[in-house]
């Protein structure tokens, strides 16, 4: 079925007990999402309400229309670097346009059933840009973590390093102490969370945020807060506004929009796969992409930012007992109620605490141990991962992914071509070929005959026999157009030299392309056999045949 949300068939055997589990899970993950949504928005150069509104709207649509039963959608750390760069270069209005465009791209990816193609991105590329993004998130939070006086953090890596170095003497000891205390709470809470009974259900991010807010308000600490920087968050519902389109710059956000769409697709489908493993279910990747597309198209009209599936909140949802998309909907409603009833309390939340939360998120987001395991992998894998990492950090995520995919494709082509081989038939297996070398030659080809391995056929051309050439293609699994052209050229060369070309063992795809290309028709009569033995017998019985 073209459009079939997972929620439609999630209620078989659904009862009051499962409903209560979903409600509890939704309440829990809603509380977890609150500090993360604000932190992601602020780190992206936006107001905190942009993250909250995105979590409410996108989270609801992704749960209602998505292809996973338990996935939680909302703003994600992976978008921070890209969003901050778009805001810095093109402004907030064009970020809204890019987000809406990314929603269209995501929806079209789902419509054209491209969900499975995302899985073809090599793991080295995914780890490289994930670690690069995590590093940049940590770097972007140094300013708030240390309370440095920097008017605006540059988006470029070297400029950011220079700005941090230049502002090193403006360190705020109160902000640093608050950030370190918040980070300590996050680490300690995670270590002892399983031993705290019912208190363990409260996320460490909420504990750290409450602690830091109380300390800041009680002692009137001279640190930046949401209230001092942004004036707090609105206590009402977001209003619908048309996205302003600036035609002079909108053409430049197509590439960032594609990047947002690709990254959103990767993040959401990876998250869905993780969820599948935890609940022993299977998500619909194309339906998930369509839901992500709808959510990202709608969010900008309410001042939202890009959204995707979030692994940390999805895992929290599952561990809290969620079984259906109802939990995701409750998560959105929980955030909505918090905004409506408790928005004034957010004014005292210190930015240093949110920076500590993001530092913690960045550390857990990166797969740092993979760098220490690089020695066990081959050079191409190492080169791909490190290239993507450093290009993500120093240049741009789009460039990093493009270069990473190029390196991965070149490596793949080289590896596949090296696995393809051509061997002269052993006279021990076919003694009838004894003393026939130079007159009747037989070759066995293994692997794939494609543009990266046509040299196998060209090598045969350089050593043609006088009477008959036998090719056993039984072990050839694939022939592309370049490989087929090389075989056709070999056939023309054999005809020109009055050499009989005998083909054996054509099966499946190689046989299909041989028919479509006209190669089968171009062969002389009685030159196509099911196996090598019959081909050799035919060559020996009629070595004087002419065309």
**Which range has the top average pLDDT, 184-188, 233-237, 428-432, 504-508?**
184-188
256-300 residue pLDDT tens: 999 999 999 988 988 898 899 888 899 999 999 999 999 999 999
Beta-carbon-side half-sphere exposure of residue 319 (alpha carbons within 13 Å): 16
C-alpha–C-alpha distance, residues 393 and 311, integer Å: 22
> What integer pLDDT is reported at residue 26 of this predicted model?
93
Residue labelled with tokens 């543009």: 451
Whether residue 201 is predicted with pLDDT greater than 60 in this model: the reply is yes
Q: How high does pLDDT run on average in the chain?
A: 89
C-alpha–C-alpha distance, residues 156 and 495, integer Å: 63
Rounded percentage of the chain residues whose pLDDT exceeds 70: 99
For 333, counting Cβ atoms within 10 Å of its Cβ (0-12 exposed, 13-18 middle, 19+ buried), the class is: middle
C-alpha–C-alpha distance, residues 310 and 285, integer Å: 15
Q: Are 470 and 435 in contact (CB under 8 A)?
A: no
Sign, CA dihedral 133-372-160-220, equals positive
For 220, counting Cβ atoms within 10 Å of its Cβ (0-12 exposed, 13-18 middle, 19+ buried), the class is: exposed
Rounded average pLDDT over 2-29:
91
Whether residue 528 is predicted with pLDDT greater than 70 in this model: the reply is yes
> What integer pLDDT is reported at residue 543 of this predicted model?
57
Q: How far is CA 125 from the centre of its chain?
A: 9
Min mean pLDDT across 200-209, 361-370, 474-483 is at 200-209
> What integer pLDDT is reported at residue 545 of this predicted model?
45
Rounded average pLDDT over 104-131:
88
Helices (H), 193-253: 204-219, 226-230, 247-250
């Amino acid at each position: 079925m073209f459009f079939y949300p997972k929620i439609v068939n999630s209620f078989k055997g659904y009862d009051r007990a499962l409903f209560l589990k979903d409600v509890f899970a939704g309440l829990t993950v809603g509380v977890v999402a609150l500090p993360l949504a604000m932190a992601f928005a602020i780190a992206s150069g936006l107001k905190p309400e942009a993250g909250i509104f995105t979590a409410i709207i996108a989270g609801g649509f992704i749960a209602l229309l998505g292809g996973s039963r338990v996935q939680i959608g909302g703003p994600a750390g992976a978008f921070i670097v890209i969003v901050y760069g778009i805001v810095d270069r093109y402004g907030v209005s064009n970020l809204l346009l890019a987000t809406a465009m990314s929603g269209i791209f995501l929806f079209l990816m789902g419509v054209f059933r491209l969900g499975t193609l995302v899985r073809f991105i090599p793991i080295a590329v995914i780890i490289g840009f994930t670690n690069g993004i995590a590093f940049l998130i940590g770097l972007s939070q140094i300013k708030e973590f240390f309370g440095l006086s920097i008017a605006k953090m540059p988006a470029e890596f070297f400029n950011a390093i220079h700005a941090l170095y230049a502002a090193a003497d403006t360190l705020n000891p109160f902000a640093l102490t608050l950030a370190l205390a918040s980070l300590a709470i996050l680490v300690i809470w995670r270590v002892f969370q399983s031993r705290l009974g019912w208190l363990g259900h409260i996320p460490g991010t909420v504990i750290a945020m409450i602690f830091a807010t109380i300390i800041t308000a009680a002692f009137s600490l001279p640190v930046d807060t949401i209230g001092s920087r942004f004036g707090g968050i609105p206590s009402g519902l977001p209003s619908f506004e048309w996205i302003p389109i600036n035609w002079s710059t909108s053409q430049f956000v197509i590439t960032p929009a594609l990047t947002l769409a690709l990254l959103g697709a990767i993040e959401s489908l990876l998250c869905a796969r993780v969820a599948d493993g935890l609940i022993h279910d299977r998500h619909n990747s194309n339906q998930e992409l369509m839901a992500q597309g709808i959510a990202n198209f709608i969010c900008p009209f309410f001042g939202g930012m890009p959204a995707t599936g979030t692994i940390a909140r999805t895992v929290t949802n599952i561990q809290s007992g969620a079984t259906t998309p109802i939990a995701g909907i409750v998560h959105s409603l929980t955030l909505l109620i918090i905004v409506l009833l408790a928005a004034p309390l957010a004014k005292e939340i210190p930015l240093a605490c949110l920076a500590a939360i993001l530092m913690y998120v960045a550390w857990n987001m990166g797969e740092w141990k993979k760098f220490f395991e690089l020695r066990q992998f081959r050079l191409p894998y190492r080169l791909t991962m490190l290239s993507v990492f450093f290009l993500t950090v120093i240049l741009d995520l789009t460039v990093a992914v493009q270069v990473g995919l190029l390196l991965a494709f070149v490596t793949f082509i080289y590896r596949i071509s090296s696995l393809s081989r051509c061997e002269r038939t052993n006279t021990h297996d076919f003694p009838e070929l004894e003393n026939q070398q130079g007159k009747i030659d037989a070759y066995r080809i293994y692997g794939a005959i494609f543009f990266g391995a046509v040299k196998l056929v060209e090598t045969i051309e350089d050593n043609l026999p006088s009477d008959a050439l036998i090719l056993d293609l039984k072990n050839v699994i694939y022939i592309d157009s370049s490989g087929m052209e090389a075989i056709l050229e070999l056939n023309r060369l054999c005809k020109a030299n009055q050499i009989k070309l005998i083909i054996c063992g054509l099966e499946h795809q190689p046989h299909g392309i041989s028919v479509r290309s006209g190669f089968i028709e171009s062969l002389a009569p009685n030159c196509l056999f099911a196996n090598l033995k019959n081909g050799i017998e035919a060559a020996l019985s009629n070595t004087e045949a002419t065309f």
